Amino acid sequence: MNEGLGPLAGRRIVVGVSGSIAAYKAVSLVRMLGDRGAVVDVAMTAAATRFVGPLTFESLTHRPVLDDVFELDAEQQIAHIELAEAADAIVLAPATANLIGELAAGLVGDAVTAIACASRAPVIVAPAMDAGMWTHPATQRNVATLRDFGYILVEPEVGELASGLTGIGRLAEPPTIVAAVEHLFARAGDLEGLHVVVSAGGTREPLDPVRFIGNRSSGKMGAALAEAARDRGAAVTLIAGVMSVTPPRGVTVIEATTAHAMRESVLRAAPNADILVMAAAVADFAPARASQRKIKRSGDTLQIELVPNPDIVAEVGEMPDEVRPFLIGFAAESNDLEANAAAKLRDKGLDLIVGNVVGGPFDAIGSDENKVTVFAAEGALTDWPMLPKRQVAERLWDLIADRYRHSRGATESTTSPRRRRS
Ligand code: CTP
């Protein structure tokens, strides 16, 4: 047994096992987590106990298996809730289509769903099922819901399935799942002590009491960034334009639905922020006048005069060093991504810019996935594939946290240290 000095040492991990033939792989998973120093509790659905006996897990963990919360007395039920609260992570492996559906719907029918639902710990889901079930729209919709909850997905693999056919749906191998758990803890806390401000969503520029000029931004990328920063220990302020997703819990939300309101909120928050990520789609123009009364239909052409809005991130870029946060912008481009992103990075005084494509088949707007390229003054830094936005957010924070630390180290060694704020 390894001494457990890695990222899993002393971590409380609940492994939730559901009823799939792949349940036998959960045995190696539990052993590997224990070998790395984690304290593992196993919860099983009734169906899972038909594939692997609870005693197998109890022998490995030396702890009772939770297999039916509803047969327990009140005191034991409370113990389960305490376990849900004490858990540092929950790993659902294998997760059947049924379990994924229950979690997406918020249905609590057994020990696994009860713990996952009661806990606020990060949840890693490793699905296992037949290829047809995995690709079914209901499963994909439920998986998308879990991603929206912030659950981390360890994708099923392609290989021979229980049916004897080959396809996608095989449970990821235990070392892959362990790596996902280790990655979670390795980066946990890397933004501890920092104040991160993220702007998200689109702005709406009013024309009259009922109409506006807006854009298709959903706020999903900014919400994923805010949530990931929160999970890494940052104090997070989300400056929310119009969003189609609910802001994550545990972050301070400031609503700002016009470009001018957003400017005010961002300029107020920026001097107290260590890092500012402007993911919002800010309207570049607003109607010169918003009519107090609803504009009436007439047979005539309607002319609307548009005036430019302030460039918010560029204003932050011009702040003096002592108050200017580490600054990340986004570039939404339909063409010439690299050249346009490089120009925005320079013109707006950014430290990094995240370029993404809008319009066409790879349209990032409103999508759950995004393909981005990050640019710094020296050029493109990344070559990432299309990924779920939460995974994009994690990769972005890996990069931003690293660059931020270097920039602060560099600044502190010069004569103008950054002002530290409370
Ligand atoms: N941005 C801003 N204020 C604006 C417009 C944009 O702070 N009035 C920020 C965005 O939040 C983003 C970056 O600037 O971080 C680039 O936004 P983008 O819409 O790609 O570029 P624009 O500067 O608006 O240029 P264009 O629309 O001409 O491509």
* Domains annotated on the chain, with CATH: 12-187 (3.40.50.1950), 195-407 (3.40.50.10300)
From CA 75, how far away is CA 55, in angstroms rounded? 22
The atom of ligand 1 lying closest to the CA of 353 is: 15
What is the number of residues in the chain? Answer: 422
pLDDT category of residue 2 using cuts at 50, 70 and 90: very low
The answer to whether 93 and 127 have CB atoms below 8 angstroms apart is no
Selecting among 98, 142, 215, 309, the annotated active-site residue is 215
Find out whether the beta carbon of 312 lies less than 6 Å from any atom of ligand 1. Answer: yes
The atom of ligand 1 lying closest to the CA of 199 is: 11
Question: Nearest-5° angle of CA 95, CA 96, CA 100?
Answer: 75
User: Which residues lie closer than 8 Å to 105 by C-beta, 6 or more apart?
Assistant: 142
**How far does residue 163's CA lie from ligand 1's centre (Å)?**
51
Identify the pLDDT of residue 410.
65
Find out whether the beta carbon of 357 lies less than 6 Å from any atom of ligand 1. Answer: no
pLDDT category of residue 416 using cuts at 50, 70 and 90: very low
Q: Which of 218, 232, 225, 235 is nearest to 269 (CA)?
A: 235
Mean pLDDT of 41-62: 96
Q: What one-character-per-residue DSSP string does 261-288 give?
A: HHHHHHHHHGGG-SEEEE--B--SEEES
Max mean pLDDT among 40-44, 335-339, 388-392, 417-421 falls in 40-44
Higher pLDDT, residue 9 or 362:
9
| Helices vs strands, H then E, count in the chain | 13, 21
> Over pLDDT 90: what percentage of the chain?
71
From CA 276, how far away is CA 198, in angstroms rounded? 6
Q: Flag whether pLDDT at 418 surpasses 60.
A: no
Find out whether the beta carbon of 112 lies less than 6 Å from any atom of ligand 1. Answer: no
Best of 239, 282, 351 for a ligand 1 pocket test (most atoms within 8 Å of beta carbon): 282
Q: Flag whether pLDDT at 421 surpasses 50.
A: no
Best of 204, 333, 344 for a ligand 1 pocket test (most atoms within 8 Å of beta carbon): 344
Find out whether the beta carbon of 69 lies less than 6 Å from any atom of ligand 1. Answer: no
User: Which residues lie closer than 8 Å to 121 by C-beta, 6 or more apart?
Assistant: 14, 84, 87, 88, 89, 90
Identify the pLDDT of residue 306.
97
Q: Which of 167, 315, 145 is nearest to 245 (CA)?
A: 145
Query: Environment class of residue 42 by beta-carbon count within 10 Å: exposed (0-12), middle (13-18) or buried (19+)?
Result: buried
Taking the whole predicted model, whether its pTM rises above 0.75 is answered as: no
Alpha carbon dihedral 68, 70, 75, 76, in 10-degree steps, equals: 0
The answer to whether 227 and 277 have CB atoms below 8 angstroms apart is no
**How far does residue 421's CA lie from ligand 1's centre (Å)?**
28
Q: Flag whether pLDDT at 69 surpasses 80.
A: no
Average pLDDT, rounded, for the chain:
90
Sign of CA dihedral 347, 350, 356, 359: negative
User: Which residues lie closer than 8 Å to 186 by C-beta, 6 or more apart?
Assistant: 7
Mean pLDDT of 378-399: 90
Identify the pLDDT of residue 160.
87
**How far does residue 390's CA lie from ligand 1's centre (Å)?**
22
From CA 77, how far away is CA 36, in angstroms rounded? 29
Q: Flag whether pLDDT at 263 surpasses 90.
A: yes
Q: Would you call 370 a catalytic residue per the annotation?
A: no
Q: Note the pLDDT tens digit of each residue in 175-214.
A: 999 989 988 887 778 898 999 999 999 999 999 999 999 9
Q: Flag whether pLDDT at 379 surpasses 50.
A: yes
Best of 239, 311, 370 for a ligand 1 pocket test (most atoms within 8 Å of beta carbon): 311
The answer to whether 94 and 171 have CB atoms below 8 angstroms apart is yes
From CA 301, how far away is CA 279, in angstroms rounded? 35
Identify the pLDDT of residue 1.
44
